[in-house]
Amino acid sequence: MSPPAQEPFVPLERYLEDEELSANKHEYWNGTVVALAGGTMAHARVVTNLGGILFAALKGKPCRPFNDAQRIVVRETGV
């Protein structure tokens, strides 16, 4: 039996360029790009409701909630 094929390393800059043009969302982790599954209506409803609750709870405070469209980079972990 053959070992599984290795995915090629993708530099962060390349991932960001490709993601801008992509119709689908992906996750980047240590040079590996993984396609994310689409959400359901129930998931979208939960996310919207939670966002509203967080927005109200954080009003007037220095923190702000964001939805899943916001990209973040955690440089210490490569995520």
Contacts of 67 (CB under 8 A, 6+ apart): 47, 51
8 Å CB contact between 68 and 47:
yes
In the predicted model, what is the mean pLDDT of the chain? 86
What mean pLDDT comes out for the span 23-29?
Answer: 88
- Structure confidence at residue 5 as a pLDDT band (50, 70, 90): low
Listed by start position, the domains of the chain span: 7-37, 39-68
**For residue 79, pLDDT beyond 80:** no
Q: Measured on CA atoms in the order 37, 20, 79, 55, is the torsion positive or negative?
A: negative
Q: Is 24 helix (H, G, I), strand (E, B) or coil?
A: coil
Written as six digits, the tokens of 75 are: 């440089």
What mean pLDDT comes out for the span 59-63?
Answer: 95
